[in-house]
């Protein structure tokens, strides 16, 4: 799990790994405490630096090609 603060007063979390309900509730309360009191000690882990994703353009092209092939197969009634 990673916590981010892209801008002051804007917080985000990623990577629940299947434990979203319980972890989301705990992290949500910690975010509320942090935002109300500006206390970083309220957070379960420190904020991680935001970094751009590598290969986003290539990944996007491959997803688009895969979706197009799937839909073409569906239109032709061929199981791919």
Report the b/e string of 37-60 with b at 16+ CB within 10 A. Answer: eeeeeebeeebeeeeeeeeeeeee
pLDDT score recorded for residue 80:
52
Instruction: Provide mean pLDDT across the span 66-75.
Output: 89
Instruction: Provide mean pLDDT across the span 22-44.
Output: 88
Instruction: Reply yes or no on whether the pLDDT at 79 is more than 70.
Output: no
User: Where is mean pLDDT largest: 14-18, 34-38, 75-79?
Assistant: 34-38
Instruction: Provide mean pLDDT across the span 53-64.
Output: 87
The model carries a pTM of: 0.58
């Amino acid at each position: 799990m990673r916590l981010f603060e892209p801008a002051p007063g804007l917080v985000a979390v990623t990577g629940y790994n299947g434990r979203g309900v319980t972890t989301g509730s705990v992290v949500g309360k910690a975010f509320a405490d942090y935002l109300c009191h500006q206390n970083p000690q309220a957070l379960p882990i420190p904020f991680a630096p935001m970094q751009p994703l590598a290969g986003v353009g290539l990944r996007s092209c491959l997803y688009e090609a895969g979706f197009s092939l799937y839909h073409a197969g569906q239109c032709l009634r061929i199981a791919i």
